[in-house]
């Protein structure tokens, strides 16, 4: 096949975006992969091959003119850039400006430049849990679930999804139409996953003990970053080949990582890298609730003289303790998705990365034990 396609990956220097860029650069139908990211890391250019060029542009999604210039000549956009903020460290208006306003700019530029294909990276947080903390147990893309989303981050992703759905089918000036689909990621793990690094630090600071917040009857999905990225690659390609089937569709990301208690998955990932990490005890909801309230009170009293480390908040706590899981094969049925990496391979690759960074993680500056 003629190598004629030019792809743009927003957020291509991020945890998931970088893996998408790596896999795209290996496809024989792509001649260029452009990366647009607010943190432009030149090392992603290492994925350039003899036939596929990888370029990087540093830019903010809110800068429409720069985005428009970067998207000149692009055929397909994979829009994965977003602020992922579960702890509310960023003001909501700013997170909304990037996650929602940035998505609006991407879609607007596609219409202005007659770019017909957009794959949007969303999140299960765009669906729920809602403010009533109603569970979803092994649902799918068609499961009816209503109510206001609990997490502020999830609210912005739900707003962005709405824009992407509404843009699907919009007529372009060249007579074509905009074709979009959405991939909802869940908890994504793998090499360079910052939450795993933080968990490892926390466990080592507690003599290898990993405590957890989830009740033992809760269930959530985890997916390896390489498999989530591969789903994006396949979705983007088949959005071109089978637009009538994929247009306006949403897909949950999945692989064969066990669907069960999140703390068991985290323990397996960490203990595979360091057998001294052992599972601790469950922290009751009421205890964490009191700690959150106490933290808020102290923060108000000492503001602006004290800037504490970001702490868990009530919406995040409610999300953690609520079952929200799904089972689906929709991506397999629609575009032949099969995971590139098995659970054992995913676990091994993640463990090898943690081992490689263990020396730095166990530096003499390791924080002391906390309650």
Domain boundaries, the chain: 5-193+222-258+328-341
For position 358, what pLDDT does the model report? Answer: 72
For position 364, what pLDDT does the model report? Answer: 46
pTM score of the predicted model: 0.92
Dihedral over Cα of 337, 273, 82, 131: its sign: positive
d(CA 262, CA 268): 10
- Tokens 């949950």, located at residue: 252
Burial of 253 (0-12, 13-18, 19+ CB in 10 A): buried
User: What residues of the chain score a pLDDT lower than 50?
Assistant: 1, 364-371
For position 367, what pLDDT does the model report? Answer: 45
Yes or no: say if 168 and 178 are a contact pair by the CB < 8 Å rule. Answer: yes
For position 241, what pLDDT does the model report? Answer: 95
d(CA 27, CA 364): 44
Yes or no: say if 11 and 81 are a contact pair by the CB < 8 Å rule. Answer: yes
290 — alpha (psi -120 to 50), left (phi > 0) or beta? alpha
For position 70, what pLDDT does the model report? Answer: 97
Give me the active site residues, please: 153
Distances (CA, A) of 97 to 11, 151, 244, 275, 337: 15, 16, 31, 43, 33
d(CA 131, CA 137): 17
Fold of 5-193+222-258+328-341: Rossmann fold (3.40.50)
What are the pLDDT digits (tens) for 22-60? 999 999 999 999 999 999 888 999 999 999 999 999 999
For 323, list phi and psi in degrees, rounded to 5.
Answer: -65, 125
For position 299, what pLDDT does the model report? Answer: 80
Q: Exposed e or buried b for every residue in 80-97, given b needs 16+ CB within 10 A?
A: bbbbbbbebeeeeeebbb
CB within 8 A of 333, min separation 6: which ones?
A: none
For position 88, what pLDDT does the model report? Answer: 83
Q: What is the DSSP letter of 142?
A: T
**DSSP class per residue in 14-64:** SHHHHHHHHHHTT-TTEEEEEEEESS--GGGGGG--SS-EEEEEE--TT-H
d(CA 84, CA 69): 26
Percent of the chain that is helix, strand, coil (3-state, to 5)? 45, 20, 40
Distances (CA, A) of 196 to 16, 17, 28, 244, 350: 14, 18, 34, 39, 9
């Amino acid at each position: 096949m003629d190598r004629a396609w030019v792809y743009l990956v927003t957020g291509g220097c991020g945890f998931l975006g970088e893996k998408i860029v790596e896999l795209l650069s290996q496809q024989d139908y792509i001649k260029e992969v452009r990366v647009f990211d607010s943190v432009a890391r030149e090392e992603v250019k290492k994925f350039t091959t003899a036939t596929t060029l990888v370029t990087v542009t540093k830019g903010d999604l809110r800068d429409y003119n720069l985005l428009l210039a970067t998207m000149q000549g692009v055929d397909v956009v994979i829009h994965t850039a977003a602020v992922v903020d579960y702890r509310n460290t960023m003001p909501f208006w700013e997170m909304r400006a990037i996650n929602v306003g940035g998505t609006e700019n991407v879609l607007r530029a596609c219409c202005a430049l007659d770019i017909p294909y957009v794959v949007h990276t969303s999140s299960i947080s765009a669906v729920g849990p809602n403010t009533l903390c109603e569970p979803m147990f092994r649902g799918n893309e068609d499961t009816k679930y209503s109510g206001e989303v609990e997490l502020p981050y999830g609210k912005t992703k739900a707003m962005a999804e709405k824009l992407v759905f509404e843009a699907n089918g919009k007529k372009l000036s060249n007579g074509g139409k905009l074709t979009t689909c959405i991939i909802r990621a869940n908890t994504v793990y793998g090499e360079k996953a910052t939450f795993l690094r933080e968990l490892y630090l926390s466990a080592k600071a507690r003599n290898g003990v990993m405590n957890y917040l989830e009740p033992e009857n809760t269930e959530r999905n985890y997916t390896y970053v390489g498999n989530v990225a591969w789903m994006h690659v396949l979705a983007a390609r088949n959005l071109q080949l089978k637009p009538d089937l994929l247009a306006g569709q949403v897909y949950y990301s999945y692989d064969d990582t066990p669907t069960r208690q999140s703390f068991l998955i985290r323990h397996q990932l960490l203990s595979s890298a360091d057998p001294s990490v052992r599972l601790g005890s469950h922290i009751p909801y009421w205890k964490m609730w009191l700690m959150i309230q106490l933290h808020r009170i102290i923060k108000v009293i000492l503001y602006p003289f004290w800037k504490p480390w970001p702490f868990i908040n009530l919406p995040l706590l409610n999300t953690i303790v609520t079952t929200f899981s799904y089972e689906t094969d929709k991506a397999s049925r629609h575009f032949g998705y099969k995971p590139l990496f098995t659970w054992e391979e995913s676990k091994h690759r993640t463990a090898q990365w943690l081992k490689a960074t263990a020396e730095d993680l166990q530096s003499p500056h390791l924080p002391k034990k906390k309650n």
